[in-house]
Amino acid sequence: MHPEYQYLNTLKDILENGVIKKEFNTGIELKSVFGRIMRFDLSQGYPLLTTKKVFWKGILHELLWFLSGSSNIKYLVDNNVHIWDEWAYKRYKEADSNSLQQEEFIEKLKTDEEFAKKWGDLGPVYGRQWRRWKTSDGREIDQLKWVIQKLKSHPHRKHYIISAWNPEFIYEMAQPGQSMALPPCHTLFHFTVNQGKLSCGLYQRSCDMFLGVPFNIASYSLLTMMMAQVTGYEVGEFVHILGDAHIYANHYEQVQEQIQREPRPFPTMKIDPSIKDIDQFKFEDFTLEGYDPHPAIKGEVTVVGGF
């Protein structure tokens, strides 16, 4: 069976068996199940979903942004990637009653360095936690670099975990004005080496199945491929563990359309084999081949604060 059916069957499961919930702050309805798992053998293709076209260039730019350790979306908007626009704009609008419209806000991020420095920053989100985790004694820990070093020297150990969940910066636990824009949905990931192959397991606490999860599958699969290359192993599996897996009410119709479609063969992602340092990857080092998806299905981002 095509591996994409794992995703499609989870969508069906949620529609048929999901518990109806309402977001606390907004009242937005969703259907939810808890505790599901998907596995993708990365040696058999790059799992970029084919039952709708997925914006893979946005996935790649976002991943490179995470790896840079930055928390400012200016790099993304400069590259016409608008995945995180709503979160930065939400913070700005809450602070400025005479606020710009979102399109004007994004344009000003591109052209005004001081404005971008102040309002483009999302707080200590994924990249900062992966690469610059703040400690109580003032140090910064590069979790990713530590994992790379240990995978090379001690491949059979079992503790190679990178966490984005830092309670000091998460809503009620944070000092006023110090919280992340969005509590991490993809919470922690774990690398392991078995029979010379590097695999990655992601625990995702909150899973927007229609919009977010296709990106997460592709992003962490690509990260696993990059990590295998820089550590010298063959690529193994991406294992995706879903906590609260849900579909928002404003995506019900789109999901019904998607689950009627037949998956097509996964594409291949080619990575420049000369790159052996995780900090040296550039957008031009990646080539997607053989991607022939069904047409895109549009859906609005549901900005609910990550709770």
Map tokens 């990655």 to a residue. Answer: 200
What does the block give as tokens for 156? Answer: 């059979």
What does the block give as tokens for 282? Answer: 């550039």
Q: Are 18 and 250 in contact (CB under 8 A)?
A: no
3-state secondary structure of 187: strand
Say how far residue 130 (Cα) sits from the centre of its chain: 13
DSSP class of residue 50? Answer: S
Angle subtended at Cα 237 by Cα 133 and Cα 15, rounded to the nearest 5 degrees: 90
Between CA 290 and CA 304 the distance in angstroms is: 36
Q: Are 42 and 235 in contact (CB under 8 A)?
A: yes
Between CA 262 and CA 267 the distance in angstroms is: 15
Between CA 168 and CA 178 the distance in angstroms is: 9
207 is catalytic: no
Q: How many helices (H) and strands (E) does the chain have?
A: 10, 10
Cα dist from 70 to 79, 116, 133, 147, 226, whole Å: 15, 13, 12, 19, 19
- Selecting among 14, 185, 188, 242, the annotated active-site residue is 185
Active site residues: 185
